[in-house]
Structure 1
Amino acid sequence: MPELFTSLYQQFLSTTVLEWIATITGFLCVYLAARQNILNWPISIISVSIYAYLFYQNKLYGDAVLQIYFLSTAVYGWYYWQSADSSDTKPVQKLTKRHMLLTTVVILLLGTVLGALLRRFTDSDVPYIDGLCTSMSFVAQFLMTRKILQNWLIWVLVDIVYIPLYMHKDLVLTAILYVAFTIIAWNGYRAWRHTYKKERNQLA
């Protein structure tokens, strides 16, 4: 056990400046998203741009491509959250059980396809885990841009899976960040659920 903590401490000390910036901005954007603060999107642009480079360097190719997708959804989410009507924020929506089942099927199919592609065309040592995490993140991020409540439940699951994956890649600071992300995502779900119920009661 002491050797494990020594190893973690050494990895922590070797964390690059880029990973520190990506981690701090990543934490801020998720925290602000949970609070439905539109500033999460411009801060997200900084974080995902840096992580795209870091993940590519660590052969997490699915995650690297995912960051490019996050970059586009950050621009879209920034626009969507402040558009359409005279209010500053969009109401929280909720998927039906049927749509949740469909979403789960899409995640599994996409994750399998991505994993197979990563195994076939890259030197990744974790192709299917990388593919599944990429798939879950892809769907969760889209649901977040549309202010769908269940996006947070998907984030809770994928964040838990990411923790040992980043430890495996010696991205210790990022792994610690994802512990925080898991907690924030759960609290984000609770906060958005409260908002959803409040908005439904106002319409009743």
Structure 2
Amino acid sequence: MEQLLSTILEQFKAITYVEWFGVITGALCVYLAAKEHILNWPVSILSVATYIYIFYNAKLYGDTILQFYFLGTAIYGWYYWSYGHLNSLKAERPVSHINKKDWFTIAIILLVGSFIFGYLLDNYTDTDVPYIDGFCTVTSFVAQYLLTRKKIENWLIWIFVDIIYIPLYIHKNLLATAALYFIFVFIALQGYISWKKSIKRQKSF
């Protein structure tokens, strides 16, 4: 037990300032998103740029590609949330639900996309976790898109994929990032509860 704790402590000591910066900005941007605060998008850009470097060096190529997608959606989300309210720091775009047809589409995207992406990573990169990387990447694609559209279900998908990411990052010795995704689970839960209250307020008007 002491040896295990000693190993974990040594791994945490080895965490770089770059990863800590990515962790801090990553936690901040998700917290702001849960609060429906539009500044989550510029903070997200800082975190994404940092994790492009981190994930590429960890040979998590699916996650590296995902960060470029996040960069694009951060710009799009920033615009979409503030459309018509350019001088407001509080997002005005209402929160909404996806329908049953959307869930079916999401399931197909996850099934087909994960297989294709995993196959490509397995055959054309040197990653040792092609299919789990592919699955998490595609799932994150979907969750992030729903976040930009202010669909409350994005938080449920984030909770699911964040839980899967934790052991993946531990496997890659990205302990600070694994801890960050553990925190993400609770922030996403808070986001879901907060957005649910927002929907109720909208219906009361």
TM-score (norm 1): 0.95
- State how far apart, in whole Å, the 1-side matches of 2:72 and 2:156 are: 22
Q: CA–CA distance in 2 between the matches of 1:127 and 1:119? A: 5
Q: CA deviation at 1:96?
A: 1.2
CA RMSD of aligned residues (A): 1.3
**What is the rounded CA distance, in whole Å, between the counterparts of 2:20 and 2:161 in structure 1?**
21
Q: Contact 1:23 / 1:47 at 8 angstroms: preserved in 2?
A: yes
| 1:108/1:135 contact within 8 Å kept | no
Once residues 39 and 85 of structure 2 are traced to their aligned partners in structure 1, the CA distance between those partners, rounded to angstroms, is 19
- Give the letter aligned to residue 186 of structure 1: L
Matching of residue 157 in structure 1 with residue 192 in structure 2: no
State the alpha-carbon separation in 1 of the partners of residues 47 and 115 from structure 2: 27
| Partner AA of 1:188 in structure 2 | G
Equivalent in the alignment of 2:128 = 125
Look up the equivalent residue of 2:186 and give its one-letter code.
I
1:68 aligns with 2:68: yes
Q: Which moved more, 1:154-163 or 1:102-111?
A: 102-111
1:143 to 133, 142, 146: 146
Contact 1:82 1:90 (C-alpha < 8 Å) held by counterparts: yes
Greater mean alpha carbon deviation, residues 190-199 or residues 163-172: 190-199
Q: Percent identity?
A: 51
CA distance, structure 2, for counterparts of residue 40 and residue 154 of structure 1:
19
**Partners in 2 of 1:31 and 1:195 — Cα distance?**
16
Q: CA deviation at 1:2?
A: 2.4
Comparing 96-105 and 85-94, the one that deviates more: 85-94
Match for residue 175 of structure 1?
A: 178
- CA deviations 1:70-102 (Å, max 9, x no partner) are 001101111110004698510001011221122
1:30 alignment counterpart: 30
**TM-score, normalization by structure 2:** 0.95
Distance 2:140 2:76 in 1: 16
The answer to whether 1:111 aligns with 2:125 is no
Aligned length: 202
Q: How does 1:29-108 map to 2 (within 5 A)?
A: 29-84=29-84, 88-108=91-111
> Which consecutive unaligned segments of at least 5 residues does structure 2 have?
none
